[in-house]
Amino acid sequence: MHRILIIEDEVSVATALAMLTKRLGYEPVTCASGTMGLQKLKPTSPSLVILDIGLPDMSGLDVLARLREHSSVLPVLIITAHGHLQNALEAKKRGASGYLVKPLDLRELEQVLRSLLRPSREPSVGATPEPTDAPFLIGSAPAMQPAFAAIAHACASDAPVLIGGPTGIGKSLAAKVIHRHSTRHAAPFVSLSCAGLPEAVLEGEIFGHEKGDTAGAAGPLVGCLERANGGVLFLDEISELPPAMQVKLLRFMEDKTFNRVGGNEDLQADLRIIASTHQDLAKAVAEKRFREDLYYRLRVLEVRLPALWERMSDLPALCGCLLATIAPGRRVALSGEALQVMQGYAWPGNVRELRNTLEHALAVCPGDSILPTHLPREVRDGSSGEAFPPSVTLDAALHEWLDARMRDTEVNYDTLHDELESRLLAALLPRYQHKPTILARELQMNRATLRKKLRGTHDHLEDEPGEISPT
């Protein structure tokens, strides 16, 4: 029987983990501190360790380092209730075998445990040095937790990555984080936007030109594939790639070979593809605008970055980091009044618009405190004055929807109410990992009632196992 060492100080979580592991046929051993866990390591000889980061006596990451001194192959699953990107990256760097964010979904946890306890599991790969200038994403908002975990998994892999999210949210930054924390960090990172370039120009940029194929060319023109050899090619707005080039890119991803424009010689390059888009690629596939086989080849790993308004609790930290970046050496802070105005703005341009706003504020601020009057007019006028996105856009959309629905002579209040509530719940569901149980708990709603209300928009829902919540 496998023995599992659980190092978790929250009694309710430790008890739930022990009950789950016992139900799966494993023998749990629980410890409430890092010191106690390290003391029990040799006597128990566990097959796996479940380790919380937030322990009362020391950081779980420090415990992980001590565990790795004991064994480089012992599987260690990190769990945390307050994850952020640096925690996820540090856990991977120190040799964590897995990383999960609370609340823990039992089905996912069970799959992870079974995977880590397979006899054929290979030893952990040693950590690579972390570049001192590695960029990082700021914040610890709940909406960012799935993204942080996905980025950490991508850093530990060499598989293709598809990064999704709205414009201006930092998809290129996420790609650089993945590159700089991967085994290819010392090799080139080549970036190319697929939007706005004529097809012939874009094809040459990616695949290169043969000698004499372009006017004035004395020799072959090397494309991005060759320049990124050994490293990473980041293709921004991959949805804009023309159909013919989708075929050529798929061929390269399948067998690592390509031809320059105007040439017949098969060339090879060893590199990793990271792509990004602000569009719904699954919808583009359904509408025959993007190849299905290329879509699945790109989406081996997927990172979804939320819009800025979904993570407004991160706004103070983001502003502090951006101010220090824009004006290093200048001591200037954001006043509470200015922050309140900014928290009431929807930020359609996301982090890019936030940076532009702070650059404007710094340019017009004569002192060391940014006031609401220093913010651009569109931010001041578009703010609700509350720490939530303004309702102007919502009101306009609601009126437009009502205009369309009221044309139906059969409509009544109950019908409108039920349809609107169903759409609201369906929109909320992706923000809670598509787990009705988690959504019901957060909304303080009966789970059966919630699932009944969701049936109209999510008929595929199946019964879930329970979850383990942070306390």
Point out the least confidently predicted range of 7-16, 182-191, 209-218: 209-218
Closest CA to 442 of 420, 418, 470: 470
Over residues 343-359, the mean pLDDT reads 93
Decide if pLDDT at 471 tops 50. Answer: no
Decide if pLDDT at 469 tops 60. Answer: no
Decide if pLDDT at 392 tops 80. Answer: no
Question: How would residue 296 be classed by pLDDT, with cut points 50, 70 and 90?
Answer: very high
- The whole-number pLDDT of residue 253 equals 95
Three-class HEC string of the chain: CCEEEEECCCHHHHHHHHHHHHHCCCEEEEECCHHHHHHCHHHHCCCEEEEECECCCCEHHHHHHHHHHHCCCCCEEEEECCCCHHHHHHHHHCCCCEEEECCEEHHHHHHHHHHHCCCCCCCCCCCCCCCCCCCCCCCCCHHHHHHHHHHHHHHCCCCCEEEECCCCCCHHHHHHHHHHCCCCCCCCEEEEECCCCCHHHHHHHHHCECCCCCCCCCCCECCHHHHCCCCEEEEECHHHCCHHHHHHHHHHHHHCEECCECCCCCEECCCEEEEEECCCHHHHHHCCCCCHHHHHHHCCEEEECCCHHHHHHHHHHHHHHHHHHHCCCCCCEECHHHHHHHHCCCCCCHHHHHHHHHHHHHHHCCCCEECHHHCCHHHHHCCCCCCCCCCHHHHHHHHHHHHHHCCCCCCCHHHHHHHHHHHHHHHHHHHHCCCHHHHHHHHCCCHHHHHHHHCCCCCCCCCCCCEECCC
- The whole-number pLDDT of residue 388 equals 52
User: Coil, strand, or helix at residue 444?
Assistant: coil
What are the structural domains of the chain?
3-116 (3.40.50.2300), 142-304 (3.40.50.300), 308-381 (1.10.8.60), 398-468 (no CATH)
- The whole-number pLDDT of residue 118 equals 66
Closest CA to 187 of 223, 159, 229, 154: 229
Decide if pLDDT at 159 tops 80. Answer: yes
Mean pLDDT of the chain: 83
Point out the least confidently predicted range of 60-74, 76-90, 241-255, 455-469: 455-469
Cα–Cα distance, 457 to 429 (Å, whole number): 11
Point out the least confidently predicted range of 69-83, 104-118, 299-313: 104-118
Over residues 378-399, the mean pLDDT reads 66
- The whole-number pLDDT of residue 387 equals 59
How many Cα atoms within 13 Å fall on the side-chain side of residue 286? 5
Over residues 110-116, the mean pLDDT reads 81
Cα–Cα distance, 271 to 227 (Å, whole number): 10
Tell whether omega for the bond before 103 is within 30 degrees of 0, i.e. cis.
yes
Mean pLDDT: which of 271-285, 308-322, 434-448 is highest? 271-285
Mean pLDDT: which of 106-110, 155-159, 217-221, 460-464 is highest? 155-159
Over residues 401-426, the mean pLDDT reads 77
